[in-house]
Amino acid sequence: MTATPKSTTTQPASRGIYGVTPDGLTTSVNAPILMSAAEMHQGCVEMQAWAASMEITDPETILAISQLTEEDSTEGFTVEPDEEGEGWATATPSEQAALVKMANNAISGDC
């Protein structure tokens, strides 16, 4: 499975705390990250292993997959909420900022 974003140009930060591509992919969140360094490291390592197993080499692909909703499901691809029944849309800006940072660090090998 490969989810490839159509565009990688982010809109200016003046649109709020979110950097969003013209296609609607959030690629940055200007919010403080409240996770501890240990939590960030663990999340990054897990994301790095998952990305490698899926042969993902672009952080935007991770972000695109992370931002899918159940409504994005198709006959051959099912999107399910996480264990808590939550996802990107219900995450706080701090949690979203952490996910963006972990995705970028996982792909760059900087966990």
Q: How much is the pLDDT for 15?
A: 55
| Model confidence, pTM | 0.79
**Which of 19-23, 83-87, 105-109 bottoms out in mean pLDDT, i.e. has the lowest?**
83-87
Q: Note whether 88 and 18 are within 8 A (CB).
A: no
pLDDT digits (tens, 9 = 90+) for 24-74: 999 999 999 999 999 999 999 999 999 999 999 999 999 999 998 878 778
